Chains A and B, each alone.
Chain A
Amino acid sequence: MLYFCPSDRAESALQFHSFDAGYIESLCAGDSQAQEHFVGYFTELLQLKLRSRLQSPQAVEDVCQETFARVFAVLRRDGGLRQPERLGAFVNQVCNHVLFEHYRSTSGGESLDAKGRLEPAAKGADALEIVAAGQIQDKVREILLGLDPHDRLLLKAVFLDERDRDEVCREYGVDRDYLRVLLHRAKREFKAEYVKRLGNPTPLGINPERF
């Protein structure tokens, strides 16, 4: 069985939901809305985690799918989690296990990301997604144009050309802190627009005293 991220994930995927006993119960009962939310939310995080560890998008997808399959299997077998609020940590831990097994299998020649394997077909984007993507691009462009040209070249050298960070810093006469703060400011400005597009990202049922 394949677990698909909802097509409108741009709007819903990162909307947090309190991971409480009720949520876990819905997952165990096979509630499609809860499952869709779960897969959407954790697909984003798993992809962020896995893309620095795996070479191909196909391998990332395989590990994601296997992680979801195992999480659902454990939830259904055991009828829930003893600490529902730690569902995120549980997913992360399952993913670590799957990743470890993937490494082991690929080192033996059984590569999940073997060359020649077909990439999954891209899903068509609907009109709302296209508009949203356009707004995101406009905002990023606006932020980049607001930067000093020196900083734009610096970002290009780091992220696009993927050059050695120390070498780039030396060449541009900056230090690592400068790079972090540059990224932090750009991210902060972008985040406001991103959050607007997501709607209210604050979780349902999050205890504000945690923060």
Chain B
Amino acid sequence: MPVAATIKGWTIVGIEKMDHSEAIQEMIAERYLLDELTPETREAFEEHLFDCPECALDLRAGAVFVETAKAQLPGLTRALPSSALISSPKPGIRQKWWLSWLQPAFAVPVFATLLLVVGYQNLVTYPGLRSAANQPRLLPWVPLHGATRGSGQMAITADRQHGVALPIDLPPQPSLGAYDSYYFDLYNPQGKLDWSGVVAAANQRDGSDQRLSLVIPGETLRNGSYSLVVSGAAAHGERTVIDRYAFDLHLTD
């Protein structure tokens, strides 16, 4: 909504207000650096930026990183085999071998099969998925308790069709405004980082927990021990691990 304010005869008008949480949640600083914002959103963010030291520092850090990286990237990418990393044609004999698949004797039946697959996906699979995505779903609900709250590893049963929803109670902040946002890192049974997410910290003045649900789709699940590390991030970016959740996942299908 357009706003107007007057400062000694100067009227500040026509720019939508942006609040700090919105800027963080929408990754506006990153979008600004990537030049992805519409002119209106860019104006709104700049309006906010000039009044918000946290966002100003965040953006400045990003800009310094990008500028410094631009000077270093040529040296750090020169030796990389770019042809192996991106989809570009490979030279020499392999290219000729692949080209032989374009001969009509192979190409016609292959493309006919592809056509059937694409047709099936468009007519059956995608409408089904779209319908499933647009409907309410029931998920197993398993409360997680962090290691700092004295609980051991939990066992959770789920299936690939539904996935699992894990309600998380974030403990009250040690002091008001100690954390600007919370980061979540989910590690799979191989110990590899499977997913990361960030949410803005709510202003819990009454000292109550901040409650969230982590919904993990079934397709990405596998049997074994998962761990979720929750960190609180202060306004200047420093992260502190505040809880770890560990659970054994057992898939029923």
Contacts and interface: CB of A to CB of B under 8 A. Distances in A.
Interface residues of B, number: 61
Interface string B21-36: 0000001011101111
B34 A183 contact: yes
A159 B69 contact: yes
Contact of A160 (B5, B12, B51, B74): B74
A83 interface: yes
Interface residues of A, number: 67
A5 interface: no
Contact of A211 (B36, B65, B68, B180): B180
Nearest to A91: B50
Most buried by A among B34, B51, B176, B233: B51
A208 interface: yes
B203 interface: yes
A186 B65 contact: yes
Contact of B64 (A136, A160, A201): A136
Given A152-B80, A165-B36, A202-B235, A16 B53 contact: yes
B60 A14 contact: yes
Contacts of B198: 184
Contacts of A149: 77, 80, 85
Contacts of A208: 176-177
Nearest to A172: B86
Interface string A57-78: 0000000000000000010001
Interface string B45-61: 01101111110111111
Contacts of B36: 165, 176, 180
A173 B49 CA distance: 33
Nearest to B82: A153
Contacts of B222: none
Contacts of A48: 49, 59-60, 63
A98 interface: no
Contact of B65 (A140, A172, A210): A140
B68 A136 contact: yes
B237 A94 contact: no
Contacts of B34: 158, 165, 179-180, 183
Closest 5 CB pairs of A and B: A88-B50, A16-B53, A191-B237, A208-B177, A191-B61
Interface of B: 5-10, 12, 20, 27, 29-31, 33-36, 46-47, 49-54, 56-66, 68-74, 76-77, 80, 82, 85-87, 176-177, 180, 196, 198, 203, 233, 235-239
Interface of A: 14, 16, 42, 44-45, 48-49, 52, 74, 78, 80-83, 85-86, 88-94, 136-137, 140-141, 143-145, 149-150, 152-153, 155-156, 158-160, 165, 171-173, 176, 179-181, 183-188, 190-192, 194-195, 198, 201-203, 206, 208-211
